[in-house]
């Protein structure tokens, strides 16, 4: 009997999910199966490396991270249950970390020992979880399946079948190939190249967008002034590395506020972005695995009705999502502050006429949900208003994901990711609306409101600001050079100017296949094995995105004729734009999209 050969390129979470599904479906099969897993980094991939700084943490509660299937997953097939990250940390982590070692193994073992289900784990600990998961798969392979891991890069995949995979030290033919390349480095933009050249010429420090765990920061000293451009998740990683990572530490006061104790090795930090505010904190988790706020306006029947009627505008979609958030916000607010109001009656009225129901409450302005206030820098002295913003944000987040009206309501944006994905996958927006509203506006707003750091990071940032370690910049920050310095300014405050000796682009590389410095992706595009998503805009205009075009249902890679090429699959971050929110980790008991798609890919491979 001929042996089927499958190549999985990428040993991060997505590659391992497909591997697990292949193993699960292979149970009881008589046909032999050989799987080869490729990645230049160890098992777990680049982002989750086990040698990274233990201070760098995830922004998802430990019990909401899994690699195992459950019965909520659509048509899962064989279900081999296993621990989520929190359960694994309690049961398996200490012994596994001791056995496998690593430069920061003691710190990760200690973190695992104290990790609660609602705590936010170190990223490297997730790397150990991924490695343990792989080892478990390897130990329990079906008798008819073999598995090989090659820690090397793949430079070329030639279409077949069979498909020819050329790696750094080998060339093999396979019956099917799955590519999950993850976040990729990009070539420098014109501006970034000029900034790098300036830094080299003037002995300054410049770090382009990249992986915050990897940037070499040792040349930055306490006399430097470091400009951080970007206030998202990568920003918090760099702040941690330049403070805690330099020997500083935090203590808690009697009122549970944090105080920072400097080591003397920290540079001064200047932090800013276009919006001018750090991302909102994640709510303290109160939800069990699988517990979600349900849809009341973005329901499946509503999505189907929009599809039948020809689509929806961005404004209509955003209004429905705002109403979802408002239902939770006002329900919790009334229960907490206005127990005399008939909550059931209000909810019934809100579901019929949301704006009218809210107006009838006659709430003071301070209690009404103000979307503009959520996303705008308050007026006043900049350092003071941002400190006040951070204090209020941390306080609201600590109220909890089911209790605090504001952060519980913002959790709706996370819990309704599947309906939002359906707006994309059903093609409910015109290409113009998809580009201008969804990609250019909604994505950034959603990230700011719902994909922020744990409240701990916000409290730490407040302490660093009060300690004078970090200063915040006016919104719409600009960068130029003058003499031997980076000069930061602001389009919103043209009188503002500050000089820095170092500039860090505090963000990961954008998903942009055209700019990716990846030999495999370059070859796929050059040979028309892959192509990019085009949007057809009004006025006979076209916009070519940086997203790799795939079939959204099957994950098959499409060429310029929009045709699949058999068992050639591609999924994950480089498809961002075709798919939505491709960086999210698998979540248990919610019919997770990553688990669904990995299962679908594996079943197609084995047909």
What is the per-residue pLDDT across 247-277, written as a single tens digit (0 to 9) for each? 999 999 999 999 999 999 999 999 999 999 9
Burial 561-597 (b: 16+ CB within 10 A, else e): eeeebbbbbbbbbbbbbbbbbbeebbbbbbebbbbbb
Does 570 fall in a domain? yes
Q: What number is the average pLDDT over the span 142-158?
A: 97
Percent of the chain with pLDDT over 70: 100
For the chain, the domain total comes to: 3
Tell me the percentage of the chain whose pLDDT exceeds 90. 98
Q: Using CA atoms, how far apart are residues 27 and 33, in angstroms rounded to an integer?
A: 11
Instruction: Identify the band that residue 1 occupies on the pLDDT scale cut at 50, 70 and 90.
Output: low
Residue 588: pLDDT band (50, 70, 90) is very high
Is 131 part of a structural domain of the chain? yes
> What's the mean pLDDT in 499-523?
98
| 293 found inside a domain | no
- Same domain, residue pair 199 and 122: no
**Residue 542 within any structural domain of the chain:** yes
Residues 137 and 33 in one domain: yes
Residue 174 has pLDDT above 80, yes or no: yes
pLDDT tier at 475, thresholds 50, 70, 90: very high
Return left, alpha or beta for 590; rule: phi > 0 is left, psi -120 to 50 is alpha, else beta. alpha
Is the model's pTM score more than 0.85?
Answer: yes
Same domain, 145 and 48: yes
| CA dist., res. 242 & res. 228, Å (int) | 11
372 & 469 share domain: no
pLDDT at 583 over 80: yes
* CA 424/CA 595 separation, integer angstroms: 19
**Per-residue pLDDT averaged across 55-66, rounded?**
98
Do 305 and 435 fall within a single domain? yes
207 assigned to some structural domain: yes
Q: What is the pLDDT of residue 161?
A: 86
Among 553, 590, 592, 591, which residue's Cα sits nearest to residue 575? 553
Pick from 471, 487, 505: which residue ends a domain?
505
Contact present, 174 and 35 (Cβ < 8 Å) = no
Torsion angles phi and psi, residue 154, rounded to 5: -100, 130
Q: Examine residue 92 and state whether it is found in any structural domain, yes or no.
A: yes
pLDDT attached to residue 550: 98
> Are 315 and 369 contained in the same domain?
yes
As beta bridge partners, residue 149 has 37
Residue 215's pLDDT is what? 93
Question: Do β-strands 205-207 and 502-505 pair in parallel, antiparallel, or remain unpaired?
Answer: parallel
Instruction: Indicate the SS3 state at residue 420.
Output: helix
From the list 177, 440, 182, 424, the residue with the least C-alpha distance to 317 is 424
Phi, psi of 17 (to 5 degrees): -65, -45
In-domain check, residue 526: yes
Provide the CATH number for the domain around residue 266: 3.50.50.60
What's the CA gap between 500 and 488, in Å, rounded? Answer: 8
- Residues 230, 97, single domain; the answer is no
- For helices 455-466 and 233-242, give the axis angle rounded to 10 degrees: 50
Residue numbers of the domain that contains 486: 190-279+454-505
Is residue 164 a part of any domain in this protein? yes
Same-domain pairing of 93 and 151: yes
pLDDT tier for residue 73 given thresholds of 50, 70 and 90: very high
Q: Which residues contact 576 (CB under 8 A, 6 or more apart)?
A: 511, 547, 582, 583
Asked if residue 180 and residue 32 are part of one domain, the reply reads yes
Which tens digit of pLDDT belongs to each residue from 78-115?
A: 999 999 999 999 999 999 999 999 999 999 999 999 99
Euclidean distance between CA atoms 155 and 564, whole angstroms: 21
73, 75, 78, 81 alpha-carbon torsion, rounded to 10°: 10
Same domain, 228 and 372: no
Q: Cβ atoms within 10 A of the Cβ of 315, count?
A: 10
- Token digits for 245? 């990572």
pLDDT digits (tens, 9 = 90+) for 526-538: 999 999 999 999 9
**Could you report the per-residue pLDDT of 360-393, keeping only the tens digit for each?**
999 999 999 999 999 999 999 999 999 999 999 9
**Based on the domain organization, do 345 and 421 belong to the same domain?**
yes
Q: What is the mean pLDDT of residues 470-482?
A: 98
Among candidates 542, 532, 606, 537, which has minimal Cα distance to 575?
A: 532
What pairing do the DSSP bridges indicate for beta strands 176-179 and 4-9? parallel
pLDDT band (50, 70, 90) for residue 319: very high
Reference 407, options 286, 278, 324, 283; nearest CA is: 283
Mean pLDDT value across the chain: 97
Spatial contact of 289 and 589, defined as CB atoms under 8 Å apart? yes
Predicted pLDDT of residue 160 = 86
Residues 215 and 338 in one domain: no
Q: Could you please report the per-residue DSSP string of 100-142?
A: H--TTHHHHHHHHHT--TTS--BHHHHHHHHHHHHHHHHHT--
State residue 442's pLDDT score: 98
- What pLDDT, on the 0 to 100 scale, is given for residue 297? 98
């Amino acid at each position: 009997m001929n042996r089927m050969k499958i190549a999985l390129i990428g040993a991060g979470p997505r590659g391992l999910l497909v591997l697990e599904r292949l193993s699960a479906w292979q149970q009881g099969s008589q046909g032999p199966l050989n799987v080869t897993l490729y990645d230049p980094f160890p098992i777990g991939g680049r982002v989750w490396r086990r040698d990274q700084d233990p201070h760098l943490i995830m922004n998802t509660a430990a019990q909401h991270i899994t690699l195992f299937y459950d019965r909520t997953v659509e048509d899962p097939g064989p279900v081999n249950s296993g621990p989520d990250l929190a359960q694994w940390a309690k049961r398996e982590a200490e012994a596994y970390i001791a056995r496998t070692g690593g430069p920061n193994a003691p710190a990760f073992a200690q973190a695992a020992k104290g990790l609660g289900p609602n705590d936010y784990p170190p990223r490297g600990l997730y790397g150990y979880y991924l490695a343990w998961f792989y080892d478990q798969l390897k130990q329990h392979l079906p008798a008819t399946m073999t598995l090989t891991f090659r820690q090397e890069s793949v430079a070329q995949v030639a279409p077949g079948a069979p498909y020819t995979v050329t790696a750094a030290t080998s060339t093999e033919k396979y019956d099917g190939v799955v590519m999950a390349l993850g976040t990729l480095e990009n070539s420098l933009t014109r501006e970034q190249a000029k900034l790098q050249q300036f830094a080299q010429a003037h002995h300054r420090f410049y770090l382009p967008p990249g992986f915050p765990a990897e940037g070499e920061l040792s040349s930055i000293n306490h006399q430097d002034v470091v400009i951080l451009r970007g206030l998202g998740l990568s920003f918090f990683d760099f702040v941690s590395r330049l403070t805690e990572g330099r020997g500083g530490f935090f203590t808690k006061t009697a009122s549970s506020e944090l105080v920072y104790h400097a080591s003397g090795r920290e540079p001064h930090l200047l932090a800013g972005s276009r919006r001018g505010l750090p991302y909102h904190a994640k709510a303290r988790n109160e939800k069990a695995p699988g517990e979600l706020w349900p849809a009341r306006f973005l329901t499946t029947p509503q999505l189907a009705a929009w599809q039948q009627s020809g689509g929806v505008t961005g404004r209509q979609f955003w209004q429905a999502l705002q109403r979802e958030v408002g239902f939770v916000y006002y329900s919790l607010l009334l229960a907490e502050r206005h127990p005399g109001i008939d909550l059931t009656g209000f909810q019934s009225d809100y579901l019929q006429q949301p704006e009218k129901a809210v107006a009838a409450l006659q709430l003071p302005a301070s209690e009404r949900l103000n979307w503009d206030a959520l996303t705008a820098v308050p007026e006043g002295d900049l350092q003071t208003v941002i400190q006040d913003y951070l204090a209020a944000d941390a306080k609201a987040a600590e109220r909890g994901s089911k209790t605090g009206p504001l952060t519980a309501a913002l959790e709706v944006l996370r819990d309704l990711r599947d309906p939002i994905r359906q707006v994309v996958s059903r093609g409910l927006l015109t290409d113009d609306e998809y580009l201008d509203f969804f990609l250019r506006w909604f994505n950034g707003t959603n990230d700011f409101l719902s994909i922020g750091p744990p409240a701990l990071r916000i409290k730490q940032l407040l302490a660093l600001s009060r300690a004078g370690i970090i200063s915040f910049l006016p919104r719409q920050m600009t960068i130029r050079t003058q003499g031997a310095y980076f000069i930061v300014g602001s389009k919103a405050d043209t009188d503002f100017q500050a000089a820095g000796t170092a500039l860090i682009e505090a963000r990961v590389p954008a998903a942009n296949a055209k700019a990716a410095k990846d030999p495999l992706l370059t070859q796929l595009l050059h040979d028309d094995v892959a192509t990019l998503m085009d949007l057809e805009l009004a006025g006979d205009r076209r916009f070519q995105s940086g997203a790799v075009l795939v079939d959204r249902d099957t994950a098959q890679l499409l060429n310029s004729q929009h045709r699949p090429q058999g068992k050639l699959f591609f999924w994950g971050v480089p498809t961002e734009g075709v798919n939505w929110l491709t960086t999210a980790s698998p979540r248990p008991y919610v019919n997770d999209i990553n688990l669904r798609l990995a299962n679908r890919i594996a079943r197609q491979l084995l047909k």
